[in-house]
């Protein structure tokens, strides 16, 4: 039977072999106590150190020392873990594997020592050498500090081609001289590599769950993993974003270009080719990561590839011909921006718009149906009136009723017929009542209902998507020996990949916050809260209630009085009164000003008085609450900013710094403080602040539509609008520019609408914004139509419909957010003062020392130094434990969890039934039974968004 070079026993089993390695390692670790001799079978032998290793214990038979082992002396300088000292006649064999066994002893001490104890000398460091004469004691430590030497339930898919064993720990052995020792070292190194791959793949699954990436795009092998990691870092994201922005900004330099930014054809065509080559590189990395089959299944990527091909051909043609041609396809460049990682919110908005289209189109068709009916009716009623230019043809009748829907030409469109027959107003009243006040509001109601349903389905799908990602990660982190949960060692390994910048203290606090059952392992039920807990920012709770608690009694009483004053309602309402009086004074002062120079060289006395009051308030709050507590409030930050700007405005007036006079205009912002008085106003402001990020993404979505229409407008309408261009149209006066002399004066009659043109990208954006506002937008449309063809009206009408869809979605989003906030407030009356998510956790000194010991084994000097600072802080204040507070802002997802609390359980049950109906992967079939059902590694995401 084969024997290991580290042991004189036969290699019966992996577990027994590892345990024997540990015992034999102790024979070479250090000399043993000089004053004590361990006699075989005595009470001071190995069984005294490890109480579970009794002669009657089955495990003890495998762990008993070899019969050839001879007693030896125990050194008084030895550590308690080195109390096992067994001599052997096989001195050479033990010497060959001594270093290897010492590595193993660090790993499996936990397995051999069920009580999980560490030895500590009084007055000495934990795990170190005991000073002579120092008293010794046993100290119990929780099991979470110990490494889990088991093999994973599910191996990483990146290791399928590596035929290695998964067992054991993963401390790398750097020195092994014998062949058997080298073989064991290779196994341990391979095991560590396997676990590292499991950590990395688990982190990728969790990132896919967080980013809502579909699981069929999950990297499938080691080569795909390398490409995935290359494509998923911020430098790559910045390269994507920079390339997309460069392609979009080229429209400033291409004909028709902004005059100051015009570039030669060779220059901008070369820049375009360079940017497209970078996009080719990005897509090649994506194909290497996804694989060809998955690449062609990914719709957004295929659309991007097709657009890239068209853009590439056109750029080469322009570069070869050295002249530009009609390039409407430039409008598709925004796809490169939409596909960027940083534009995920824009993609979600576009999906939401497309998902809202079916009901929107239904109502839109109903609206157009009534419009056609009224156009035919208006043509028959008003075309006999030759003085009415609005209904002389069916085309004009349709166009003018479409414009009337926006009320832009009302009542002008009614006046010719109304002058002939007053009863004709009934036609327009009925039309506007049906189309504008009924169908348009019905359109908003339908879109809002669809939007609300989509938001709920999106939340449900994202919640279940995250749950599936957590299950995938969980299977990669549990071991066959401990399938009931994740140990701290493996959880810490996961966070090293998922959040590399998280420090050791935050990793442990995150583990403890997740571990609601207070067991050594994090169960699957606790692990489901991973996304809610991992975002917490941890800070030590202050030991003092106030910043001035340690001051002398006289100073303490003074600052305590200030603290009580600034927190009192009398003080708050006094400041509200001052703000209201200040607002009224500013209003009266502004009303009395005349045109011209509004800023006097003399500083108004009212300015100094009110600013002094605000300054005193700021000083009292800062001293009474302390700078940290004062600046932790959003309203206090706002007050501080406004007061600072008011002071800067005073300096600008006092020293006559005219370029900075605009700061004085910011004074009325103090009036916003009055909104804190009423709960409804607070809800409105809170909703507004919550909407800012999403509104920014909606604004960017609207700009993308603007860009597409601007490119099309420049290609067809550049240079067609100019002064006196529309003399034959009904809007000629708006484009007329006449310079004539009346008496001794030169009179200029100028219609400014010729400035609303498509001569470059910037002018096009301004023109499109005016079309969005719809006030007199038909003048721009008719001016362009008079210079081109009647089909040009389709461009303006389609733009109005598209912007109506986007604006309706924006209005529905605002309504949904506000209604959701109101419903949540009614359901949770105690949540008026929302300080976000706050979690409190206490860690003891013993726990910190245990974690330090764990990190010492992995030579993590930085993490160890951070944790030792906590111990020093506890020693400084004579504490045995420290309380940490984890905080993060409350998101809409948190509010949705509260609102849909009852339905979520039904969703989970339905999700579990679907998982049970799915076939299990072969690898999971052989895994030990656990609370987690087998999952397919390539399960397709069920997400909606």
Per residue in 352-362, pLDDT (tens digit) is: 888 888 888 88
Question: Which band of pLDDT confidence, cut at 50, 70 and 90, is reported for residue 83?
Answer: very low
Determine if the peptide bond prior to 256 is cis (ω within 30°): yes
Q: In the prediction, which pLDDT does 277 show? A: 95
Helix axes 605-625, 553-567, angle to 10 degrees: 120
- DSSP secondary structure string for all residues of 416-456: HHHHH-GGGHHHHHHHHHHIIIIIHHHHHHHHHHHHHHHHH
Give the best-scoring range by mean pLDDT among 316-320, 384-388, 629-633, 671-675.
Answer: 316-320
Task: List the one residue out of 652, 565, 531 whose CA is nearest residue 212.
Answer: 531
Over residues 55-63, the mean pLDDT reads: 35
Q: In the prediction, which pLDDT does 667 show? A: 67
Over residues 621-649, the mean pLDDT reads: 83
C-alpha 60/C-alpha 47 separation (Å) is 9
Determine if the peptide bond prior to 411 is cis (ω within 30°): yes
Which residue has better confidence, 816 or 262? 262
H or E element, residue 741: strand 737-742
C-alpha 717/C-alpha 787 separation (Å) is 9
Helix axes 179-211, 222-231, angle to 10 degrees: 50
Q: Which range is least confidently modeled, 66-80, 615-629, 759-773?
A: 66-80
C-alpha 856/C-alpha 862 separation (Å) is 10
Sheet bearing 537-540, strands edge to edge:
537-540, 881-888, 837-844
pLDDT at 131 over 80: no
pLDDT at 891 over 90: no
Over residues 826-855, the mean pLDDT reads: 75
Which residue has better confidence, 112 or 576? 576
Share of the chain above pLDDT 90, in %: 19
Question: Which band of pLDDT confidence, cut at 50, 70 and 90, is reported for residue 468?
Answer: very high
C-alpha 72/C-alpha 4 separation (Å) is 23
pLDDT at 500 over 50: yes
Question: Which band of pLDDT confidence, cut at 50, 70 and 90, is reported for residue 324?
Answer: confident
Helix (H, G, I), strand (E, B) or coil at 750: strand
Per residue in 713-724, pLDDT (tens digit) is: 999 998 888 888
CB 562 within 8 A of CB 546: no
Please return the burial class of 568, using the count of CB atoms within 10 Å of its CB with bins 0-12, 13-18 and 19+: exposed
Residue 312, both tokens: 């590439």
Tell me the torsion sign for CA atoms 714, 720, 724, 730: negative
C-alpha 6/C-alpha 422 separation (Å) is 111
Task: List the one residue out of 365, 249, 402 whose CA is nearest residue 796.
Answer: 402
Cα distances from 321 to residues 265, 269, 271, 870, in angstroms, run 10, 11, 16, 70
Q: In the prediction, which pLDDT does 431 show? A: 93
Question: Which band of pLDDT confidence, cut at 50, 70 and 90, is reported for residue 41?
Answer: very low
pLDDT at 228 over 60: yes
The CA-based angle 12-18-21, given to 5 degrees, is 105
Tell me the torsion sign for CA atoms 589, 593, 597, 603: negative
Phi, psi angles (nearest 5°) of residue 766:
-65, -45
- Which residues, in sequence order, are CB contacts of 884 under 8 Å at separation 6+? 509, 538, 539, 540, 541, 840, 841, 842, 843
C-alpha 680/C-alpha 316 separation (Å) is 60
pLDDT at 920 over 90: no
C-alpha 589/C-alpha 586 separation (Å) is 5
Over residues 96-104, the mean pLDDT reads: 39
Helix (H, G, I), strand (E, B) or coil at 282: helix
CB 440 within 8 A of CB 367: yes
The number of helix segments (H) and strand segments (E) in the chain equals 36, 9
8-state DSSP, 176: -
Per residue in 287-308, pLDDT (tens digit) is: 998 888 889 888 889 999 999 9
- DSSP secondary structure string for all residues of 41-64: TSTTSHHHHSTT--TT-HHHHHHS
Over residues 381-394, the mean pLDDT reads: 88
Give the best-scoring range by mean pLDDT among 264-278, 734-748, 868-882, 924-938.
Answer: 264-278
Q: In the prediction, which pLDDT does 660 show? A: 57
Over residues 509-520, the mean pLDDT reads: 87
Query: How many Å is the maximal CA-CA distance in the chain?
Result: 131
Give the best-scoring range by mean pLDDT among 46-50, 194-198, 887-891.
Answer: 194-198
- Which residues, in sequence order, are CB contacts of 550 under 8 Å at separation 6+? 544
C-alpha 921/C-alpha 75 separation (Å) is 55
pLDDT at 461 over 80: yes
C-alpha 481/C-alpha 38 separation (Å) is 33
Plot region of 858 (φ>0 → left; ψ -120 to 50 → alpha; else → beta): alpha
Q: In the prediction, which pLDDT does 94 show? A: 39
Total Cβ atoms within 10 A of residue 335: 19
* Alpha-carbon 644 to chain mean position: 32
Question: Which band of pLDDT confidence, cut at 50, 70 and 90, is reported for residue 922?
Answer: very low
Q: Which long-range contacts (CB under 8 A, 24 or more apart) does 447-451 make?
A: 447/356, 447/359, 447/360, 447/808, 447/809, 447/812, 448/811, 448/812, 448/815, 448/816, 449/359, 450/355, 450/356, 450/359, 450/360, 451/352, 451/356, 451/809, 451/812, 451/813, 451/816
Over residues 350-378, the mean pLDDT reads: 89
pLDDT at 588 over 90: no
Over residues 240-246, the mean pLDDT reads: 94
pLDDT at 870 over 90: no
Helix (H, G, I), strand (E, B) or coil at 135: coil
Total Cβ atoms within 10 A of residue 37: 14
C-alpha 151/C-alpha 141 separation (Å) is 24
Over residues 409-421, the mean pLDDT reads: 89
**Straight-line distance from the first to the last Cα atom of the chain, in angstroms, rounded to the nearest whole number:** 61
Which residue has better confidence, 851 or 466? 466
Residue 855, both tokens: 């990190």
pLDDT at 85 over 60: no
Mean pLDDT of the chain: 75
Q: In the prediction, which pLDDT does 828 show? A: 65
pLDDT at 66 over 50: no
Q: In the prediction, which pLDDT does 839 show? A: 86
Task: List the one residue out of 353, 319, 349, 312 whose CA is nearest residue 333.
Answer: 312
pLDDT at 450 over 70: yes
CB 241 within 8 A of CB 515: no
Plot region of 326 (φ>0 → left; ψ -120 to 50 → alpha; else → beta): beta
8-state DSSP, 262: -
Q: In the prediction, which pLDDT does 179 show? A: 60
* Alpha-carbon 763 to chain mean position: 35
Q: In the prediction, which pLDDT does 19 show? A: 43
Task: List the one residue out of 920, 941, 938 whose CA is nearest residue 293.
Answer: 938
Helices marked H in 150-212: 179-211
The CA-based angle 380-383-385, given to 5 degrees, is 130
pLDDT at 60 over 50: no
User: Which residues, listed in sequence order, are joined to residue 152 by a DSSP beta bridge?
Assistant: 479
CB 427 within 8 A of CB 381: yes
Total Cβ atoms within 10 A of residue 807: 14
Residue 718, both tokens: 């550049």
Q: In the prediction, which pLDDT does 690 show? A: 72
Task: List the one residue out of 506, 485, 836, 540 whose CA is nearest residue 498.
Answer: 506
Helix (H, G, I), strand (E, B) or coil at 325: coil
Over residues 551-559, the mean pLDDT reads: 86
pLDDT at 516 over 90: no
Over residues 630-644, the mean pLDDT reads: 82
Helix (H, G, I), strand (E, B) or coil at 882: strand
The CA-based angle 652-653-658, given to 5 degrees, is 65
User: Which residues, listed in sequence order, are joined to residue 842 by a DSSP beta bridge?
Assistant: 883
Over residues 108-127, the mean pLDDT reads: 35
Total Cβ atoms within 10 A of residue 321: 11
CB 795 within 8 A of CB 350: no
pTM: 0.72
- DSSP secondary structure string for all residues of 807-871: HHHHHHHHHHHHHHHHHHHHH-GGGSS---EEEEEEEEHHHHHHHHHHHHHTT-HHHHHHHHHHH
Do you know the residue count of the chain? 945
């Amino acid at each position: 039977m084969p024997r290991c070079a580290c042991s004189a026993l036969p290699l019966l089993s992996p577990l027994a072999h590892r345990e024997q390695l540990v015992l034999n390692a102790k024979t070479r670790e250090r000399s043993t106590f000089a004053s004590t001799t361990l006699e075989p079978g005595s009470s001071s032998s190995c069984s005294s150190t490890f109480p579970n290793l009794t002669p009657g214990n089955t495990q003890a038979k495998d762990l008993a020392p070899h019969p050839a082992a001879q007693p030896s002396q125990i050194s008084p300088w030895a550590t308690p873990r080195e109390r096992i000292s067994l001599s052997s006649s096989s001195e050479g064999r033990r010497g060959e594997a001594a270093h290897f066994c010492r590595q193993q002893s660090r790993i499996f001490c936990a397995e051999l020592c069920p009580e999980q104890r560490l030895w500590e000398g009084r007055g000495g460091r934990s795990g170190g050498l005991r000073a002579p004469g120092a008293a010794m004691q046993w100290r119990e430590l929780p099991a979470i500090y110990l490494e889990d030497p088991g093999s994973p339930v599910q191996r990483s898919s990146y290791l399928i081609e590596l035929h290695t064993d998964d067992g054991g720990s993963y401390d790398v052995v750097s020195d092994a001289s014998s062949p058997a020792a080298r073989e064991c070292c290779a196994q341990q190194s391979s095991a560590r590599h396997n676990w590292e791959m499991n950590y990395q793949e688990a982190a990728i699954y969790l990132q896919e769950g967080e980013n809502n990436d579909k699981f069929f795009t999950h990297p499938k092998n080691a080569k795909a993993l390398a490409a995935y990691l290359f494509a998923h870092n911020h430098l790559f994201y910045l390269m994507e974003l920079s390339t997309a922005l460069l392609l979009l900004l080229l429209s400033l330099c291409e004909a028709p270009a902004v005059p100051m930014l015009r570039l030669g054809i060779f220059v901008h065509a070369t820049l375009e080719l360079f940017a497209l080559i970078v996009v080719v590189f990005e897509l090649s990395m994506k194909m290497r990561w996804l694989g060809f089959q998955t690449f062609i299944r990914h719709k957004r990527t295929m659309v991007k590839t097709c657009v890239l091909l068209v853009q590439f051909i056109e750029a080469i043609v322009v570069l070869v011909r050295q002249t530009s041609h009609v390039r409407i396809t430039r409008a598709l460049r925004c796809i490169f921006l939409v596909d960027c990682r940083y534009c995920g919110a824009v993609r979600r908005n576009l999906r939401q718009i497309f998902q809202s289209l079916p009901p929107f189109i239904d109502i839109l068709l109903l609206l157009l149906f009534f419009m056609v009916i009224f156009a035919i009716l208006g043509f028959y009623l008003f075309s006999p009136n030759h003085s009415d230019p609005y209904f002389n043809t069916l085309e004009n009748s349709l166009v003018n009723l479409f414009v009337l829907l926006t009320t832009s030409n009302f009542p002008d469109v009614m006046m010719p017929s109304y002058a002939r027959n007053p009863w004709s107003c009934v036609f327009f009243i009925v039309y506007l009542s049906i189309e504008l006040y009924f169908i348009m509001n019905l359109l908003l109601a339908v879109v809002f209902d669809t939007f609300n349903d989509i938001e709920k389905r999106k939340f449900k799908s994202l919640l279940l998507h995250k749950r599936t990602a957590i299950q995938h990660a969980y299977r990669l982190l549990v071991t066959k020996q401990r399938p009931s949960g994740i140990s701290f060692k493996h959880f810490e390994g996961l966070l090293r990949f998922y959040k590399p910048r998280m420090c050791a203290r935050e990793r442990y606090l995150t583990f403890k916050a997740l571990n609601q059952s207070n067991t050594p392992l994090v169960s699957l039920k606790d692990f489901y809260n991973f996304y809610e807990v991992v975002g917490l920012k941890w800070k030590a709770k202050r030991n003092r209630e106030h910043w001035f608690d340690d001051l002398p009694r006289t100073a303490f009483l003074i600052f305590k009085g200030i603290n009580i004053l600034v927190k009192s309602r009398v003080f708050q309402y006094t400041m509200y009164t001052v703000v209201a009086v200040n607002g009224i004074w500013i209003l009266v002062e502004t009303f009395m000003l005349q045109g011209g120079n509004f800023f006097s060289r003399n500083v108004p006395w009212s300015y100094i008085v009110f600013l002094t009051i605000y300054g005193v308030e700021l000083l009292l709050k800062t001293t009474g609450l302390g700078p940290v507590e004062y600046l932790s409030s959003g309203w206090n930050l706002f007050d501080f900013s406004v007061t600072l700007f008011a002071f800067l405005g005073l300096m600008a007036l006092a020293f006559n710094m005219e370029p900075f006079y605009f700061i004085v205009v910011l004074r009325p912002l103090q009036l916003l403080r009055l909104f804190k008085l009423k709960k409804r106003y607070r809800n409105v402001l809170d909703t507004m602040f919550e909407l800012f990020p999403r509104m920014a993404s909606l604004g960017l979505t609207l700009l993308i539509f603007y860009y597409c229409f601007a490119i099309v407008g420049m290609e067809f309408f550049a240079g067609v609008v100019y002064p006196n261009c529309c003399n034959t149209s009904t809007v000629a006066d708006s484009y007329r520019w006449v310079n004539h002399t009346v008496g001794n004066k030169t009179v200029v009659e100028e219609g400014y609408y010729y400035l609303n043109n498509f001569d470059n990208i910037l002018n096009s954006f301004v023109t499109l914004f005016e079309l969005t506002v719809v006030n007199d937008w038909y003048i721009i449309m008719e001016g362009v139509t008079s210079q081109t063809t009647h089909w040009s009206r389709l461009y303006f009408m389609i733009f109005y419909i598209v912007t109506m869809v986007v604006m309706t979605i924006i209005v529905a989003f605002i309504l949904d957010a506000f209604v959701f906030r109101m419903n949540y407030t009614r359901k949770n009356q105690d949540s008026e003062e929302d300080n976000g998510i706050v979690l409190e956790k206490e860690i003891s000194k013993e726990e910190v020392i245990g974690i330090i010991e764990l990190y010492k084994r992995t030579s993590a000097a930085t993490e160890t130094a951070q944790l030792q600072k906590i111990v020093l802080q506890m020693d400084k204040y004579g504490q045995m434990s420290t309380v940490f507070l984890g905080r993060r802002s409350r998101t809409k997802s948190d509010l949705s969890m509260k609102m849909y609390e009852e339905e979520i359980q039904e969703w989970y049950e339905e999700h579990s039934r679907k998982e049970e109906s799915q076939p299990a992967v072969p690898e999971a079939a052989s895994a030990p039974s656990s609370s987690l059902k087998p999952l397919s590694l390539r399960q397709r995401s069920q997400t909606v968004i």
